Every structure is written in structure tokens, then in C-alpha cells.
Structure 1
Amino acid sequence: MARLLRPARAPGPVTRLLQRLVSPRFYLKTAMTALVLGLILVPTVADLVNAALKPVSGEGETCRILRVIDGDTVSLMCPEEGLESARLMGFDTPEKYAPQCLSEFIAAERASWALRTMIQKADQLAITRDGTDRFGRALVRLELDGVDVARLMVRAGHARINTGGPRGSWC
């Protein structure tokens, strides 16, 4: 009778592993970790590598592209202006932070990665400033190896030519 009232043995390592694999919490944690790595950590590291290795020359100063915000907006660090948000001129990409549908968000992520990759592959980066937009962002024309980035993004299918008129839907 005394043997029946003893507490059960603690589960062994194999039993604990099997319990973890059948737990929905395990898959939820794994998915959340992958999401954080894929949407936050990996782009941040890629942007920092580009900033460290790719100076941007333009109008007598050398700037750095610290971050690709979305396919047509970057954060610049310039000696005279400091840290500023810059809208790349000549094209429009899907919105990443206010998408109207899931397909627009996915297209925006692709456009952001396309711009990062183009910056990484370029040997020379040059900017030309052209005032500010209604949101206070610097308006900048970016050239990669002498070619306007607007042309490259449109040709790759990640952007549309920006004519200044109303924006079309990406959905």
C-alpha cells in the first residue's frame, strides 16, 4: 500500500522532449522567434553592414544610409544635417507601415529587401538633394553606380514611376 501512495518519478529527458513537441506553446514560441528575427533583427543587421561599408557621396559631403525604412524611404546620417529621413525620388513602392492588405505588406517587404540588396551590391552610391516633402523628409535622388535607383526598382518590378498624382492601390 505504501508503494501506491508515493509520488511519480520525474519525467525523463525523452518524455520531456515529446511533451514539448506536442505542446502548441512550443510552436507559437518558435513562430514568434522566427518573426522577430525575420522582420526586425535580420534587416537591422543588414542595414548596419551597409552603413558601415557603403558611404554615400553627394554635394561635398559623405553620408551613410543607416536604415532602409521601406522601398522608397531611408534614414541618412550626414555630417551637416545629422540623422534625417529621406524620401527617394522618382518612384513609389508599397507601404510597409500602413498597408491596405497583406499582399501590399509582402510587396513592401520585398521592395525593402530589393533596395537593401541593390545598395549592398553597388560600388558607388551618390545622392542629390532636392528640398523636402510635406512630411519634412529630405527629397533625395539616389544613384547606384551611376544609375538612378528609381529606374532599377521600377525595372525589377518593386516600384511604379511616381508622377506626383494620386497613388494607385497595391492590393
Structure 2
Amino acid sequence: MIVAALVMLILAPVAGALAGVSGGSASVISTSGCRLLSVVDGNTVELSCPGDEVRHHHVMGLTSPPVLGARCLAEAWWGLRAHVSLRAQVWQAETLAFVEEPRAHLVLMLADGIPIHRLVPTPPPDPCA
């Protein structure tokens, strides 16, 4: 299970690089001046904001079960699927926009003007049931 998860995490960036798609190709617009550094997991991104240190922000509207420490294979699969899907949406976007809520470490993320939570599949409430 862990090997399959690692292969999927490695395969997505390699496939994106081969297709000529990269996270750096999207222009970033931010009402708060924040810049996307990386996708941490299926519902968390790392942002660099002016006057603040680099930190992780949860993306509003996204839920993602854990990959490592999952209770069952289905939960790990949904966590991996959310992570890969969020990365794919970031790579394919022409523009990314962020509206940050710094006190709660939350961010509303828009890809080409569409809220990202509408583009990423939502896992079932309890994938292990």
C-alpha cells in the first residue's frame, strides 16, 4: 500500500513534467500578495505571504483523508486521489488566486476564477465503512 502511494506521488510530477505542465506556469494573483510554493496534501498548500513567514494553509472547502496513517486502503486511496487532483488543478490552471484568512491559516483558492473545491473530487464521509 505504501509503495503504491509513493509511486502515485512520484508519477504525477513526472507526468506533468513530460507533458510540459508545471506549477510555475500559472500566473499567481493574490489579494493578499501570497505566493504558492507547494501542494502539501489533498487540502493543504504552502504559501509565502509578504510580512509573514512561509506556512501551511488549509484550502477552504476541501477535505482529504490521510494517506499515511489511514485506517483502511480506501481511506488512503481517497487521500492520494485528493492530493493528485489538487496538484493537477494547480498545474493546469492559467491563473491562481488566493484570498487568505491569516489568523486561521485558511485560504480560498481559485483556479481560473473557479473555487478549487468545485474541481477536486470530494471523498465519502467515511471511506472505511
1:38 equivalenced with 2:7 (yes/no): yes
Separation in 2, partners of 1:94, 1:37: 16
Q: Is the 8 A contact 2:5 2:67 kept in 1?
A: no
Deviations 1:129-156 (A, max 9, x none): 12444xxxx1000000111011122xxx
Structure that is richer in helix per residue: 1
Separation in 1, partners of 2:27, 2:67: 25
Uncovered stretches (5+) of structure 2, i.e. residues with no partner: none
Separation in 1, partners of 2:80, 2:97: 24
State the partner residue of 1:143: 110
Q: Is the 8 A contact 1:76 1:85 kept in 2?
A: yes
Q: Is the 8 A contact 1:55 1:62 kept in 2?
A: no
Equivalent pairs counted in the alignment come to: 122
Uncovered stretches (5+) of structure 1, i.e. residues with no partner: 1-31, 161-166
State the partner residue of 1:159: 122
TM-score by length of 1: 0.59
State the partner residue of 1:15: none
Q: Is the 8 A contact 1:127 1:142 kept in 2?
A: yes
Separation in 1, partners of 2:99, 2:47: 13
TM-score by length of 2: 0.75
CA shift for structure 1 position 98 = 3.0
State the partner residue of 1:92: 63
Deviates more, 1:66-75 or 1:91-100: 91-100
Separation in 1, partners of 2:112, 2:70: 31
Q: Pick the structure with greater CA Rg.
A: 1
State the partner residue of 1:117: 88
Matched position secondary structure for 2:119: helix
Using the aligned pairs only, state the percent identity: 26
Structure-to-structure mapping, 1:11-26, within 5 angstroms = none
Matched position secondary structure for 2:106: strand
Q: Which one scores higher on RCO, CA 8 angstroms, separation ≥ 6?
A: 2
**Compared CA separation, residues 38 and 132, structure 1 to 2 (3 A):** farther
1:54 equivalenced with 2:26 (yes/no): yes
1:78 equivalenced with 2:41 (yes/no): no
